[in-house]
Structure 1
């Protein structure tokens, strides 16, 4: 298993990055928060896990080992694959997920794209006791939004919403916060706040 990668960021897109490790480019799928911390041409280290399927090998990257562990454990739930597990971490911090499960808070889980009422109940049932106790962060990853609005809109459209819906959601988040623009450092938080407002797609 490829447990971590350290190299130079060659490319960053909406849902993935390419990390150049001694001349070898590794394509790594990651959450918007992780990708927001990567800059092309700069060094980076990611915790990783390799998902091997009969027809593919896909590498997923995380900011820290706790996120990786939650990603791997979430896939023990029937019906939850890498895509849903990654979406969970795009909307919730590991501790927010732990608290939602401990409180049987299916409404919070349903804010994750791709998770409906039945799958939320199944996640609570099958992950209870498996993720450990939450620490102190315990909330949806919402950071006060404050010129990178387009990045948030692109991320939302990449998750399946239309540009109009995405733009409206971001505008409402900014209005809630009394801000006019999205600072680049606040892209992950603004994205999560927009996801909370939009709720589960479909």
Structure 2
């Protein structure tokens, strides 16, 4: 676990959180600290929920329970975080239960990244699909954004994962790398399907 933290300490894309059994921050990496410094300058010892939407505390608690009930397994969660301006950003996480040398629960390891743009594009797309016959031009623009603006950071995520995977011999870190790779590929597949569906619909409308 120490190798994982060290490898991602200076990541520009991923957040790392470790929450203790007291439901307080035990560790955050620099990217997380920088992104949410408007909430608190030093997260260590602060309640884990100070950054999130109140309704998402239940999600966090339920996913944590699944982690401890299934040691070694990763569980996903989407958590809304305060943006410092009265709104929220969307973050995608993978949770993993941590245990000490005696097998006692020690905390939760969380790896996440910002998906606000993807969520916004998805919501815009869903609204546009209801008016597909009258908004073919708008749909074409959204398809372009999905294909280019989202897949660019996805490429960075995949590249970073490959680098981490090559540089470590730690099995746990390799497991995390595989999780990142699978999540990124699923997102890439979803974007491709959205673009293909838009293009198909436009072709049908032209006929």
TM-score, normalising length from structure 1? Answer: 0.23
Higher relative contact order (Cα pairs below 8 Å, separated by 6+ residues): 1
Larger relative helix fraction = 2
TM-score, normalising length from structure 2? Answer: 0.23
